[in-house]
Amino acid sequence: MRIVIAGGHGQIALRLERLLSARGDEVAGIIRKPEQADDLRTAGAEPVVLDLESASVGEVAAALEGADAAVFAAGAGPGSDAARKETVDRAAAVLFADAAERAGVRRYLVVSSMGADPRHEGDEIFDAYLRAKGSADEAVRARPGLDWTILRPGMLTNDAGTGLITLAASTGRGPIPRDDVAALLAELIDTPATAGLTLEAISGSVPVTVAVKDVAGN
């Protein structure tokens, strides 16, 4: 498969790129800074330098041409202001979805956030982030041209992955290693029967492959 990841230098994205390239997939990661390219090559991914805050739909669609799946894993990141939550966490996700539709890439995964809600109230930066992610999720869900799956992990940690998770429409709060989120994304890419689902994930007791089969109804 060819898989294109937006936010290719993110902590989850780099882990996912290593997993996908190790199993023989062709992986491309969209990055904003050329100096990040070597890190992607080390992870086994082809770097594509493109700023999703200023690129056109056509430019992003060109990067997605021929892909079997697209993964939106970009984010403004800690320390960014509310304006960038809007331009990256919402607008870039919508742009990437627009481009996927134009390029004919149906399989579309979103790394969202537990608690994402376009109607979330509050004046803090994190409140703006949850609104932006919720709005992006709503925009993706409204697209019949995409076989989308939205993943909302719990509190992300850098602990070593265990491969054991809880995956459901609602899991309750809890932590999950980024290693396990990456493994889960790789499994979801391969499981088109999860299209149309919004899923929460935290650490648990079920192997990733089994958890995905369970939610897919297999």
Residue positions annotated with a catalytic role: 129
The rounded distance, in Å, linking the Cα atoms of 62 and 51 is 13
Rg (CA), the chain: 16
The rounded distance, in Å, linking the Cα atoms of 48 and 146 is 22
The rounded distance, in Å, linking the Cα atoms of 68 and 158 is 29
The rounded distance, in Å, linking the Cα atoms of 149 and 84 is 24
Tokens of 205: 């007791």
Coil vs helix vs strand at 149: strand
The rounded distance, in Å, linking the Cα atoms of 190 and 116 is 25
Tokens of 147: 């076989």
Which amino acid appears at position 154 of this protein? G
Helix (H) or strand (E) holding 207: strand 206-207
